[in-house]
Structure 1
Amino acid sequence: MRGSLIALRAIALREAARFVRQRGRFLSALVRPLVWLLVFAAGFRAALGLSITPPYETYITYEIYIVPGLCGMILLFNGMQSSLSLVYDREMGSMRLLLTSPQPRWWLLLSRILASTLVSILQVAAFLGIAAGFGITFPALGYVTALPALALAGIMLGALGLALSSAIRQLENFAGVMNFVIFPMFFLSSALYPLWKMAESSAFLYGICAANPFTQAVEAIRFALYAQANLPALGWTGLWAAGFLALALWGYDPARGMLRRKT
């Protein structure tokens, strides 16, 4: 147990040090959702009507609605960028040193996901602080109850990125895969518009949005920010996290996974 905790601490410190050195990564993680919050929301406010649906008990502005989705955006992009660094580590050879550690491979990969999730949560906290400066706030207890939902969503998205990285041989290819994953997951979700609005437009797209793992993560965060538990969303997010993690472990298993094809 002590050795496992030391490995987790070392991986977390390495991820944190990399994040501190890459200040542009931190700024881009904040600028991206802030552009949506302050620019796009102003245009969508008049075009998109919102009704009173849980967890909201009254009419809300569009800016308040999209904040949980933008929190999910930060988790999604950071999870993918962290996995992108794994592809880079594999090309440079440092990934091999990590996987030859005496610690179990599954623990090393899980530690990498946990470290990435911690960095993502810090980014979300900074974003929520800036949003509060613009008058977009949530119940005080909600900032605390949102932490488990953010952690679960971060683990799910980090595991997805890890699974994708196991199947990519070159850094350039992973950047293309990210575009085919990030944007469909984000736009075909409840991050920018409620699902009932999508149902009015297309039943087919509504089904895709409802089945989207990112939708479940966003809804879990949305309810948690109001100190409420959306048990179905939390359950589905946990199931998707377990599935993606199992796929990642299989992909990084040299005997059976994707890494075997590269040797």
Structure 2
Amino acid sequence: MTWLVALRAIVQREALRFLHQRERFLAALVRPLVWLLVFAAGFRAALGLSIIPPYQTYITYETYIVPGLCGMILLFNGMQSSLSLVYDREMGSMRLLLTAPLPRWWLLFSKLLAATAISILQVYTFLLISGLYGIDHPPWGYVLVLPALLVAGLMLGSLGLALSSFVQQLENFAGVMNFVIFPMFFLSSALYPLWKMAESSPLLRDICAVNPFTHAVELIRFALHGQLNLPALGWTLLATAAFTALALWGYDPARGMSRPKG
């Protein structure tokens, strides 16, 4: 019961913070909507798409990038949530959280789960808007994509958690985010398929293939069409375990990396 009380308290705190920062919700939607409504219209003529799994016929470019834009929301929100961890550490509230009489991994997992739940809510809002725009998916896909969004959100959130454990100042973390978010997003299958990347550079294609974000996007893409991509699931779970282990190591008080200054 104590563990559940702590989980509920952390989730409620994140929910209240989210409700009080409505611009954060709008910002999370503006980025993917700009790509969907503006950039996709220009890329549609330049990028020809062949029939690739899980699609059974030719699709528009807008349809192709929707899973990648869902991943974008999870990626940016995972980093934004970790940014709040750095802020909490500077303000001292993180010290109080981590000194609670509960396992450190449970406290961090509760924080991660709360942030992921908020990200999933934003993804479904984006899927609703894209549906109104005319980009439809199979009805059951909107239900089956939920586990994929949860796994992908935990993976990207744990990455942000790991990064926040090694950054002491808020200003430094904002810079680190740029060096992580943009390479992960653009060096992936979010905006163009891997076979298209191979046409320009096999090396670039290989880099995209080992990018954990690529596997998270493909997991979402297949789930939206009612299919399970086992390799993508396996690599995403493996990356989640690796990032979580790194975060726990970084937040180990014996190492002093997450100890607030002063």
Query: When the two structures are superposed, what TM-score results if normalisation uses the length of structure 1?
Result: 0.98
Alignment of 1:49-68 (within 5 A): 49-68=48-67
| CA positional deviation for 1:258 | 2.2
What is residue 124 of structure 1 aligned with on the other side?
A: 123
What is residue 193 of structure 1 aligned with on the other side?
A: 192
| CA positional deviation for 1:28 | 0.5
What is residue 26 of structure 2 aligned with on the other side?
A: 27
Alignment of 1:105-254 (within 5 A): 105-254=104-253
| CA positional deviation for 1:259 | 2.6
Q: Which runs of 4+ in 1 moved over 4 A?
A: 260-263
Aligned residue type for 1:61: T
Q: Per-residue CA shift, 1:71-102, capped at 9, x if unaligned?
A: 00000000000000000000000000000111
Contact between 1:216 and 1:237, CA under 8 Å: does it hold in 2?
yes
Alignment of 1:54-93 (within 5 A): 54-93=53-92
| CA positional deviation for 1:260 | 5.8
Alignment CA distance shift 1:199-1:262 (3 Å): farther
Aligned residue type for 2:235: W
1:259 partner SS = coil
2:140 partner SS = helix
Q: Tell me the distance in 1 between the aligned counterparts of 2:38 and 2:243.
A: 34
Aligned residue type for 2:171: E
Unaligned runs of 5+ residues in structure 2 are none
Contact between 1:139 and 1:226, CA under 8 Å: does it hold in 2?
yes
Query: When the two structures are superposed, what TM-score results if normalisation uses the length of structure 2?
Result: 0.98
Q: Tell me the distance in 1 between the aligned counterparts of 2:246 and 2:31.
A: 29
Aligned-pair RMSD on alpha carbons? 1.1
Q: Tell me the distance in 2 between the aligned counterparts of 1:95 and 1:186.
A: 29
1:256 partner SS = coil
Alignment CA distance shift 1:257-1:208 (3 Å): farther
1:190 partner SS = coil
Contact between 1:250 and 1:257, CA under 8 Å: does it hold in 2?
no
Contact between 2:67 and 2:217, CA under 8 Å: does it hold in 1?
yes
| CA positional deviation for 1:46 | 0.2
Alignment CA distance shift 1:261-1:21 (3 Å): closer
User: What percent of counterpart residues are identical?
Assistant: 77
- Number of residues paired by the alignment? 262
Contact between 2:92 and 2:260, CA under 8 Å: does it hold in 1?
no
